[in-house]
Structure 1
Amino acid sequence: MTTTLSGTENRADRRGSEYTFDATEEGASDEQIDESAAREATICVVGLGYVGLPLAVGFAQSNYRVVGYDVDETTVEQLQAGVDTTGDLSDDAIQDGDISYTTDAAQIGDADYVIIAVPTPIDDDDQPDLRYVESAATTVGSKMKPGTTVVLESTVYPGTTREVLAPALEEASDLTAGEGFFVGYSPERATPGDEAHGLADVVKVVGAQNEKVLDDVAALYESVVDAGVHRAPSIEVAEACKVVENTQRDLNIAFVNELSMALERMDVDADAVLEAAGTKWNFHDYRPGLVGGHCIPVDPYFLAHRSAREGFEPELVRTSRKVNESMPDHVAELTIKALNQCHKTLCESRVLVLGLSYKPGVGDIRSSKVANVVERLEEYDIDVTGFDPFADPEAVRDAFGIDVQEAVSFDGFDAVVVTTGHDEFERLDLENVASALESDPALVDTTGTFDETVAQDAGFVYRRI
């Protein structure tokens, strides 16, 4: 079923009885009137993860009344207790403003705007898994009041808002999209661990079912996003832009990953090649490495799924995914070659993996490709221990199935594999590290953290991507 979204009312037209659009001063501008009216709105954010929680806090800090809803009781209890569950905000920030956290779906009915920010993973066959979107839509639809505007922020393939979200809302609410409620789409652009690119600092892309709803939703986001709002000409354009952003990055990283493997076989330093090529003004600087996280390894599959549905197979997109998914095998191979060069017996070797999260500066181990590196090494009966200054040791033990150090110690290991480029590792003294390791140690530096000459002078057999 494809829902036609054709409502014509703007927020003032459809909710005139619910809002008082009075200007407090004679001669107030339209912008001042809109601003005053917007602050009277109640916003519900559904899904309080690394996307939804900063949204909820951002609106609360901008003087909106906010309801933060999540089905996870533990998450909500921690938030109610004043604990920042993402680590990207602060305990003070999550209580800053008129914000309440709840598992009570009935409170969704208080909202004028509902923003859905739930996970959209891929399944074991690399197909989009939209069950969280569908479940959220059913819950929201069953509780929302007539006139509510629902904005989806989860990453989806083009067409999902019309084909999946709106029909689910209609079925649960017994209302008609475009008449009884209104929908829009605004792709999340969250970057965990990056303080310079928070909610207020990154341009917000917005798409909606018609121009008046678009203006309404854009004005809402403009009140909290200092960088401004880009009005997409359709919902589908807004949906597609998110998956294209990360697919582009995946393609470029795949190129340098494949390049590094090719140059290694030519005995040419890939890092030096990229440095030399980077002296040209129009060369794009990407570096090889593991590609983990919630966006880059996932979003290309959403684009490929929708494209294949229309009869076009995006071969370059799929090939890039295969290249990047092969990198854990390549890192494991580099480690095995380094151990062999050090004359180590693999089944008797101990390896310390530095960095277990999916990116520098964060402790999130979900979607971390380091787990795949560990798995490959263990296939050769190599004893693997991990350390990460940000990741929770107990969570790593459960997820990776390895010993995890609470504080880093190099004693007794045959090799160190740096898999996440945390700044803390740059401060390591390689001579001291080498002296603590077993004789003839190996250093596999997948992040390019250390200088090869310095590592070799310290006594390491050095390898890098």
Structure 2
Amino acid sequence: MEKKEDSEFKIAIVGLGYVGMPLAVAFSEQFPVIGFDVNSRKIAQYKKGIDETLEVGDEVISSCSVEFTDEEAKLREASFVVVAVPTPINGDKTPDLSPVIRASETVGRNLRSGAIVVYESTVYPGVTEEICAPILEKESGLKCGVDFRIGYSPERINPGDRVHTLKSIRKIVSGMDPETRDRIGQIYDTIIEAGTFPVSSIKTAEAVKVVENSQRDINIAFMNEMAMVFERMGIDTNEVVDGMNTKWNALGFRPGLVGGHCIGVDPYYFIYEAERLGYTSQIVASGRRINDHMGIFVADMALKKMIRAGIDPSKAKIVILGITFKENCPDIRNTKVLDIINHLREYGIEPQVVDPWADKELVKQEYGVELKEWSEIQNADCVIHAVAHGEFRDRGLEGVVSLMGTERSKKILLDIKGEWSVDALNKSGVIWWRM
């Protein structure tokens, strides 16, 4: 299917973040595309050719044919609409569906007869058909299944990943009926080189997304629990994992901070819906409790190591390397590094934070943290290597240790990412711990 085959066919992407923007760019290679977002500042940046997400790059944004807009009336031109807005959680860990509800209202107000609306936002099974479809009907005055159709295709983009990209990840597709599913698959097949994987129902597709991230969450939680126990045993967890991974059927998971907009959030959607149906989650909920505690565990380890070294934590200079939720990515949503910072703040400690990827203004606005430059850090008493950005890796262990000055024998290094070997850490001259 090429643009010239149907000059009237146009796709609209609603929500131009880490998921929607790469999707809009990819579809624009095949079809006319409207890229809509309510954030006028973001639209202005895209129009200038600036890719704030760093997912496709400024050059691609500048040269693509996407019609970026914050005018919702433009959506009336589209016969295929993809909703790719975030679905976070509330403070009580329940799903926050307000972004997808508002997006549905916007799409509904501008929905043309005969259109297909596909949701990519992560939701628990049932949301698309039981919550979104009625909103589309109410706002449009059209009848679902008669005047328009719906489907679901969960996003699988991994921000900052240059290997597993949109086109190389197989796409789950579903529709309210086989005809709709096949049509949605046909359209996605034009951009997904790995192909599509059709499933029998929208609820099944919704479940796929929630389960695949819950599975990762549980496996990391297991390793995090091992890390907490091995700390009491005086055993290095990463060395244990290195040994375990020599066996062919080892899964390769390691302990760490689990944040971001997917793994740290999606399990709560499963837990919520399970409890609504009368089932109290055991394994998934337990994994979430463990992973949500890891930031506090790391902060406590820093305090413990400093006290044992004779350093007064209240007077110490503590430096944290990285604040984004993962390496080589500017995304700070649901970053668990914030848990480390907040726990230290409870003791009156304000750590200095360095992150070459994060937006300084956004970090200040969202978390009240003033990011520092690497060159501003001197004589640190404790360095917490929290995010393995390439810039930190390039400086090597010696570069990180140099932040502590020359008197290193009583300085503390916490290698949360397990970046350096035990031998290298032992030779560094500092007191070290890695998760």
* Selected match of 2:274 from 295, 303, 307: 307
Deviation for aligned residue 1:87: 1.2
* Selected match of 1:458 from 414, 428, 431: 428
Deviation for aligned residue 1:145: 1.1
Single out whichever of 328-337 and 246-255 deviates more from structure 2: 328-337
Deviation for aligned residue 1:346: 1.3
Determine helix, strand or coil for the equivalent of 1:158: coil
Q: How has the CA–CA distance of structure 1 residues 154 and 336 changed in structure 2, closer, same or farther, with 3 Å as cutoff? A: same
Q: How has the CA–CA distance of structure 1 residues 437 and 36 changed in structure 2, closer, same or farther, with 3 Å as cutoff? A: same
Determine helix, strand or coil for the equivalent of 2:163: helix
Q: How has the CA–CA distance of structure 1 residues 286 and 436 changed in structure 2, closer, same or farther, with 3 Å as cutoff? A: closer
Deviation for aligned residue 1:273: 1.3
Deviation for aligned residue 1:435: 5.3
The reply to whether residue 443 of structure 1 matches residue 391 of structure 2 is no
Deviation for aligned residue 1:250: 0.2
Distance in 2 separating the partners of 1:451 and 1:143 = 57
Contact 2:236 2:434 in 1 (8 A): no
Determine helix, strand or coil for the equivalent of 2:28: helix
Determine helix, strand or coil for the equivalent of 1:92: helix
Distance in 2 separating the partners of 1:431 and 1:209 = 57
- After TM superposition, the structure 1 = structure 2 runs for residues 165-244 of structure 1, keeping only pairs within 5 Å, are 165-244=132-211
* Selected match of 1:117 from 78, 81, 84: 84
Distance in 2 separating the partners of 1:39 and 1:97 = 18
The aligned residue for residue 125 of structure 2 is 158
Distance in 1 separating the partners of 2:175 and 2:49 = 34
Deviation for aligned residue 1:292: 0.8
Deviation for aligned residue 1:433: 4.8
Letter in 1 for 2:57: S
TM-score normalised by the chain length of structure 1: 0.89
Distance in 2 separating the partners of 1:212 and 1:367 = 38
Deviation for aligned residue 1:428: 3.0
Unaligned runs of 5+ in 2: none
The aligned residue for residue 92 of structure 1 is 59
The aligned residue for residue 44 of structure 1 is 12
Q: How has the CA–CA distance of structure 1 residues 429 and 235 changed in structure 2, closer, same or farther, with 3 Å as cutoff? A: closer
- After TM superposition, the structure 1 = structure 2 runs for residues 62-461 of structure 1, keeping only pairs within 5 Å, are 62=30, 64-431=31-398, 433-434=400-401, 436-437=403-404, 439=407, 440-461=410-431
Single out whichever of 441-450 and 428-437 deviates more from structure 2: 428-437
Distance in 2 separating the partners of 1:96 and 1:436 = 42
Identity of aligned residues (%): 38
Deviation for aligned residue 1:94: 2.0
Deviation for aligned residue 1:374: 0.8
Distance in 2 separating the partners of 1:196 and 1:278 = 22
Deviation for aligned residue 1:436: 4.9
TM-score normalised by the chain length of structure 2: 0.95
Once the two structures are superposed, what CA deviation does each residue of 1:326-368 show, in whole Å capped at 9, x if it has no partner?
1011100110111112210111111110111110111222211
Unaligned runs of 5+ in 1: 1-31
Distance in 1 separating the partners of 2:267 and 2:199 = 21
Once the two structures are superposed, what CA deviation does each residue of 1:86-139 show, in whole Å capped at 9, x if it has no partner?
111122222434321111111111001011111111111111111111111111
The aligned residue for residue 29 of structure 2 is 61
Length, aligned pairs only: 432
Question: Of the two, which has the highest radius of gyration?
Answer: 1
Q: How has the CA–CA distance of structure 1 residues 433 and 180 changed in structure 2, closer, same or farther, with 3 Å as cutoff? A: closer
Distance in 2 separating the partners of 1:435 and 1:119 = 40
Q: How has the CA–CA distance of structure 1 residues 330 and 61 changed in structure 2, closer, same or farther, with 3 Å as cutoff? A: same
